[in-house]
Structure 1
Amino acid sequence: MDVSNIMEDVDSYMGYVAAGAVVLTGIAGASVYYAANRPVPEKPLVDLDCQAYLQPGPEMIRTSKFYKDAKEGKFVRYIFEDTRTLYDIFRRGAKVSNNGPCLGWRESPHKPYQWLHYNEALLRAKNFGSGLVALGLEPSPRTFVGVYSQNCPEWILTEQGAYCFSMVIVPLYDTLGPDACAYIIQQAEIGVVVCEDDSKCNLLLDKAPKCLKKLITMKEIRPATNQRAKNRGIEVLRFEEVERLGAAKNNKEVPPRINDICTICYTSGTTGNPKGVMLSHENVVSAVCAVILQLGDHRPTRSDIMISFLPLAHMLERCCETGMYMVGGAVGFYSGDIRKLSDDMKALRPTVSPAVPRLLNRIYDKVISEVSTSFIKRAMFNMALSSKESEIKRGIIRRNSFWDKLVFRKVQESMGGQLRLMIVGSAPLAGNVLTFTRCALGCLVVEGYGQTECVAPITLTVQGDHVPEHVGPPVACCCVKLVDVPEMEYFAVAGQGEVCVKGTNVFKGYFKEPQKTEETMDADGWLRTGDIGAWLPNGTLKIIDRKKHIFKLSQGEYIVPEKIENIYIRSQYVQQVFVHGESLKSCIVAIVVPDVDVVKQWAAENNIPGTLSVLCAHPEVKRLIMDDMIAWGKDAGIKSFEQVKDIYLHPDPFSVQNGLLTPTLKSKRPQLKKYFKPQLEDMYSKLT
């Protein structure tokens, strides 16, 4: 994620110190200011030493303390009697906001946000849904509507329009690639896709399945694209046309039922085709309600504004927005250029924001880099951080302290200056970055853990718990247990094992994939996440490993190292390869054992002398092998984030004798990671 615009703001604020006298003045000033503005600590919502109920029985199931019936093993389904579906949620928002602002956007970087209010959004959504029916779509949960667009008001109007007639939304997104998009359209038999612009239309037209009959475009497209669609038997309509058609027909709404599917969210997957996660209205509503309960007094309200920039194709963003609509809050969409996110936030001044570790990591790294250039800067920064962290440990959350005004003001202003709640998810966040974010932004920052198969949230940290590097207790829509993984020496009796989840947020299965559903969920409804967790003494969960050799990068993308290794091994220069990545890093690296004969022959032809050990240290040899590996990766169609960004050449093969291979000659990944720890750390240090 490119956040250079935010980085520039961070740059500008780090020049706040010029002389040691300022330090002394700052200390004295801070003392006086603090005495005059003594803040009041917030009382934790639960006992921080016991944040979850432990159910009686051998399975050691943990449930939420934020829902009184959780003691009896029940799960929250809703918190408002009249709000049980996503159709209901939008209407409740219109009512409680008294037709307040709902969807915001701006047409150019220099213009202010303009707003679509709830009643107008409801009318336009209903008209659009009516237009879909007029085009021949059946008002039914068996009708799937594709959406291929960046976040914008039309995305939400499409979604709500579909719900007016019980239809199902199927998001498409760029990182899936054209083959996967075509596969999804084919598998779900999608006849209509709402498409953002000309380029996305052409990506779909490249491999359009025969079932695709109509493209509805939000923006103008070129005549050539229109003709190309016609040549394939696909009709192109404008979004406004469908709205006008629907208004003229005025078809009667067919609202969804609680257990109807509302969306099929395709996960990008790790091998093979993506899997379609079927989520019902109750799944999503229960998940959103559980998070709202856990946020307590910090929950969103009708006066809140949220910035929308994480992909709406993923459930984290969808849940955050749904929570805003439920309480009548407003959602403003970023311009579509992540490099201008700070400009959008300054114009919107949001009070609520979702976030991902990659964004926060970039801000943290830039600040640390800047303060490291000067002893005075570093001293001031450390004092500010220490003071704010001390307050957070006492339950004080604020952005009006002396240190906020002197040190952290520019960071806060780069994100609009009004943030009071940030929800972080999608990948692990390093403890030092989380603590910095809480100090610098002066708002409540909670970190969640979840999966698409559970809508999004499984656990969430609670207000008042300042300790980082865990993901909190279970939310009220589910319970969690840990199950033995003996082959990895994790046992539930020791408080470690595979994280398994059961509750009202657990999905209805993979679309048209009953076998994969059975592999993931048992007969009693327990979802096996594949993540290894450990219970901390206070009932919070810490994710410590992955059951399969799959890991997530910091931007949330999954990596299957064996798949990539099987591609790179095709290179004539590679005898063995070990691909490695970490959830706190945004890229992968590799240890490569070169093919001694091929490399020596190339070296001789290019007048490069030396043994294999000498050649492994030669930059031209490294460049040769890495370029060939990347070329093989491109030929195999792997994505850019699946390509290694650096390699280390090792002259000695992995073997059973040196403990790096199993007797069946498979890589022993934990041992390889440990053995090459210095080299792996060195590569990552050069990449940051």
Structure 2
Amino acid sequence: MSGLAQGPSVCFSGDVGRMSDCLASSLTCLSFPAEFFLSLLEKMQTQEILRMLRLPELGDLGQFFRSLSATTLVSMGALAAILAYWFTHRPKALQPPCNLLMQSEEVEDSGGARRSVIGDSPQLLSHYYDDARTMYEVFRRGLRISGNGPCLGFRNPKQPYQWLSYQEVADRAEFLGSGLLQHNCKPCTDQFIGVFAQNRPEWIIAELACYTYSMVVVPLYDTLGPGAVRYIINTADISTVVVDKPQKAVVLLEHVERKETPGLKLIILMEPFEEALKDRGQECGVVIKSMQDVE
């Protein structure tokens, strides 16, 4: 029994790791069942871990809860109930209608054309609804099925949205398109109307004005440099451009003054502008009008 007397005294004076090694080496000298000492070792290790992590034992935890006020306990219970309700009623993730890694399949004998895997018919889909085969018809269908609901929304920073109804948008588009015809634009697919503006309701209204009278809308953008606008105007033979800001109208006039876009004849501005800009346009043969006047 000398091993039993000396072994534990050395182990308890060191850390848990050395105690484990020492007890394990002393098991051969013990007459008690080895399982008893192993369970004792595990319990001691658990208590040591709890102490190191500063976690209370079960007895201390119960005393901790008993020390809390009724208000605190009710608050904790309410929080637990809210979390439980959220976990059981939280929105489920939407399931995609198809494998997102394989959303299309090749059409046989088509030279590499592909079709969506959504749908039962092998025929290529040209339209969803019989009464919505053109962009103009798509908008008119929206007007009808929405019951003249909200169509275009806009807002200033930190302000609520303001909405234009479908009918308001339809009326303005028709008025603008009619005004374009009054300024020598032709109601055909050979008539290209440029739009040089950021996203805003007037952009969509100008687009719908073109659809209403079978004209083609051509977006203009200068992200590739000022030469991109000049190139698009000349390539599409654009004579009329709708712009949002006077600064962009100045850019267009500079191209005309340098005789780089001789076909440009009409600039329609969404925002107010000074009379001097109109005079500058007259000097180089370009008419400048407000969108409100054209409507």
Cα distance in 1 for partners of 2:110, 2:133 equals 34
Q: Write the letter of the residue equivalent to 1:91.
A: R
Residue equivalent to 1:178: 226
Cα distance in 2 for partners of 1:34, 1:127 equals 51
Cα distance in 2 for partners of 1:48, 1:153 equals 33
How far has the Cα of 1:118 moved from its partner? 0.2
Contact 1:101 / 1:118 at 8 angstroms: preserved in 2? yes
- Describe how 1:207-222 pairs up with structure 2 within 5 A: 207-208=255-256, 209-222=261-274
Cα distance in 2 for partners of 1:158, 1:134 equals 15
> SS at 1:183's partner residue?
helix
Q: Write the letter of the residue equivalent to 1:204.
A: L
- Describe how 1:384-533 pairs up with structure 2 within 5 A: none
Spell out, residue by residue over 1:260-286, the C-alpha distance to the aligned partner (whole angstroms, 9 max, x if none).
xxxxxxxxxxxxxxxxxxxxxxxxxxx
What TM-score do the two structures reach when normalised by structure 1?
A: 0.29
Change (3 A) 1:217 1:54: closer
Change (3 A) 1:223 1:57: closer
Cα distance in 1 for partners of 2:87, 2:154 equals 42
Residue equivalent to 1:80: 129
Residue equivalent to 2:170: 122
Cα distance in 2 for partners of 1:60, 1:230 equals 53
Cα distance in 2 for partners of 1:85, 1:57 equals 28
Cα distance in 2 for partners of 1:217, 1:53 equals 46
> SS at 2:176's partner residue?
helix
Contact 1:67 / 1:76 at 8 angstroms: preserved in 2? no
Which of residues 200, 209, 212 is equivalent to 2:248?
A: 200
Contact 1:215 / 1:234 at 8 angstroms: preserved in 2? yes
Residue equivalent to 2:208: 160
Which of residues 139, 145, 160 is equivalent to 1:90?
A: 139
How far has the Cα of 1:69 moved from its partner? 2.1
Which of residues 229, 234, 238 is equivalent to 2:286?
A: 234
Cα distance in 1 for partners of 2:192, 2:236 equals 7
Q: Does residue 135 of the first structure (1) align with residue 187 of the second (2)? A: no
Cα distance in 2 for partners of 1:58, 1:151 equals 37
Cα distance in 1 for partners of 2:192, 2:100 equals 44
Residue equivalent to 2:63: none
Contact 2:192 / 2:215 at 8 angstroms: preserved in 1? yes
> SS at 1:119's partner residue?
helix
Change (3 A) 1:47 1:103: closer
How far has the Cα of 1:33 moved from its partner? 4.4
Contact 2:221 / 2:228 at 8 angstroms: preserved in 1? no
Cα distance in 2 for partners of 1:35, 1:165 equals 54
Q: Which has the higher contact order (CA 8 A, sep 6+)?
A: 1
Contact 2:143 / 2:167 at 8 angstroms: preserved in 1? yes
How far has the Cα of 1:194 moved from its partner? 0.6
Contact 2:222 / 2:228 at 8 angstroms: preserved in 1? no
- Describe how 1:299-338 pairs up with structure 2 within 5 A: none
Change (3 A) 1:143 1:109: same
Change (3 A) 1:51 1:189: closer
Cα distance in 2 for partners of 1:43, 1:178 equals 44
Cα distance in 2 for partners of 1:111, 1:43 equals 34
Cα distance in 2 for partners of 1:199, 1:58 equals 48
Residue equivalent to 2:149: 100
Cα distance in 2 for partners of 1:58, 1:168 equals 29
How far has the Cα of 1:75 moved from its partner? 1.3
Change (3 A) 1:112 1:211: same
> SS at 1:175's partner residue?
coil
Higher percent of residues as strand: 1
How far has the Cα of 1:231 moved from its partner? 1.1
Residue equivalent to 1:225: 277
- Describe how 1:12-27 pairs up with structure 2 within 5 A: none
Cα distance in 1 for partners of 2:157, 2:93 equals 39
Cα distance in 1 for partners of 2:117, 2:150 equals 34
> SS at 1:170's partner residue?
strand
Cα distance in 1 for partners of 2:112, 2:265 equals 52
- Describe how 1:543-582 pairs up with structure 2 within 5 A: none
Cα distance in 1 for partners of 2:290, 2:264 equals 16
Spell out, residue by residue over 1:468-523, the C-alpha distance to the aligned partner (whole angstroms, 9 max, x if none).
xxxxxxxxxxxxxxxxxxxxxxxxxxxxxxxxxxxxxxxxxxxxxxxxxxxxxxxx
Contact 1:140 / 1:167 at 8 angstroms: preserved in 2? yes
How far has the Cα of 1:229 moved from its partner? 1.1
Cα distance in 1 for partners of 2:250, 2:137 equals 35
Residue equivalent to 2:61: none
Cα distance in 2 for partners of 1:58, 1:224 equals 58
Cα distance in 2 for partners of 1:178, 1:159 equals 23
Cα distance in 2 for partners of 1:60, 1:227 equals 55
- Describe how 1:648-687 pairs up with structure 2 within 5 A: none
Change (3 A) 1:213 1:75: same
Change (3 A) 1:117 1:65: same
Unpaired runs of 5+ in structure 2?
A: 1-53, 56-75
Change (3 A) 1:162 1:33: same
Q: Does residue 145 of the first structure (1) align with residue 145 of the second (2)? A: no
Spell out, residue by residue over 1:127-180, the C-alpha distance to the aligned partner (whole angstroms, 9 max, x if none).
100110011111111111111111111111111111111101111112133222
Q: Write the letter of the residue equivalent to 1:158.
A: A
Unpaired runs of 5+ in structure 1?
A: 1-19, 244-688
Cα distance in 1 for partners of 2:145, 2:211 equals 20
Q: Which has the larger radius of gyration?
A: 2
> SS at 1:169's partner residue?
strand
How far has the Cα of 1:224 moved from its partner? 2.7
Q: Does residue 190 of the first structure (1) align with residue 242 of the second (2)? A: no
> SS at 2:195's partner residue?
strand
Aligned identity (percent) is 38
Q: Write the letter of the residue equivalent to 1:122.
A: A
Higher percent of residues as helix: 2
Change (3 A) 1:178 1:96: same
How far has the Cα of 1:218 moved from its partner? 0.5
Change (3 A) 1:181 1:226: same
How far has the Cα of 1:50 moved from its partner? 7.2
